[in-house]
Amino acid sequence: MSQLESLLNKPEFQKLNELMNSFSDTVVVASASSIKIDSVQETLTELFPDRKFNIVGVPADSEINDQPINDETFLGAQNRIKNAALIKKELANSIFISIENGIFESEKDKWEDKAVVIVRLPNNKSFTRLSDDNVEVPSNFISEAKNKNGGLKENTYSRVMSDHYLKSGIVIDKQDPQTFLTEGKLTRKMQIKNTIKSLFLELLK
């Protein structure tokens, strides 16, 4: 039996399952990103296999720079939830999930790409989780993004890195730099799914 299967059989998880059953099957993802929408769909299916969720993606603005840094990442996730709720007022009784990736300075001039996930339940309680799967980012690509026209408002390290390696014929998915940076050990979807899963498991405490 896997660790997840063992967890799903615990009495505490049954209480969480009962709580989820009291909510609508519709779950709003505060983004139109296929990676984010698919990550939510797959994670909820794994955690609650007896439920069939209707995932609705909403192009909600984060109101922050294209490349968020440190606490700005949390603000972006909060803004996405807020704006998605304004766009989908008719779904106020649904669960809203927001996902925002940003770079965090772990020590001087050392950076890590982390995911922030916020889940807002229909009772208006919100829960936030920062990813445990952190991906080290070469600082030179961050510096270049800062120094380009438009700075971090219009440039991201992943686009700069992708353009850099494309000159050598190496193609990097700008939406998933994690795969390249970890040599395939961790995809962005894996990072997001793990964070969503950890957040829901926190509700058991």
Residue 181 has pLDDT above 80, yes or no: yes
pLDDT at 4: 58
Give the dihedral of Cα atoms 91, 96, 101, 102; nearest 10 deg.
100
Phi and psi dihedrals of 27, rounded to 5?
A: -125, 125
Query: What is the rounded CA–CA span in Å between residue 89 and residue 185?
Result: 39
Residue 85 has pLDDT above 70, yes or no: yes
Query: What is the rounded CA–CA span in Å between residue 17 and residue 46?
Result: 12
Parse the chain into domains and list their residue ranges: 3-137+183-202
**Report field, pTM of the whole predicted structure over 0.85:** yes
pLDDT in tens, 99-110: 999 999 988 889
As a whole number, the mean pLDDT across the chain is 93
Query: What is the rounded CA–CA span in Å between residue 200 and residue 205?
Result: 10
Query: What is the rounded CA–CA span in Å between residue 195 and residue 128?
Result: 10
Both tokens of 75, joined, read 């603000």
Res. 97 pLDDT band, cuts 50 70 90? very high
Alpha helices in 53-170 (DSSP H): 72-87, 139-147, 151-154, 157-166
Phi and psi dihedrals of 61, rounded to 5?
A: -75, 140
CA-wise closest residue to 88 among 139, 161, 32? 32
Query: What is the rounded CA–CA span in Å between residue 157 and residue 162?
Result: 8
Mean pLDDT of 37-55: 94
Overall fold of domain 3-137+183-202: Maf protein (3.90.950)
pLDDT at 203: 77
Res. 151 pLDDT band, cuts 50 70 90? very high
Give the dihedral of Cα atoms 82, 119, 21, 93; nearest 10 deg.
-10
Residue 27 has pLDDT above 50, yes or no: yes
Residue 74 has pLDDT above 90, yes or no: yes
Query: What is the rounded CA–CA span in Å between residue 163 and residue 142?
Result: 13
Q: Beta strand pairing status for 95-107 and 110-120?
A: antiparallel
Residue 1 has pLDDT above 50, yes or no: no
pLDDT at 20: 86
pLDDT at 187: 98
Residue 137 has pLDDT above 90, yes or no: yes
In degrees, rounded to 5, the angle at the alpha carbon of residue 188 between the alpha carbons of residues 187 and 194 is 90
Query: What is the rounded CA–CA span in Å between residue 114 and residue 103?
Result: 6
If phi > 0 it is left, if psi is from -120 to 50 it is alpha, else beta; for residue 139 that is alpha
Res. 136 pLDDT band, cuts 50 70 90? very high
Q: Can you point out the beta strands (E) in 86-145?
A: 95-107, 110-120, 126-130, 135-137
Residue 63 has pLDDT above 50, yes or no: yes
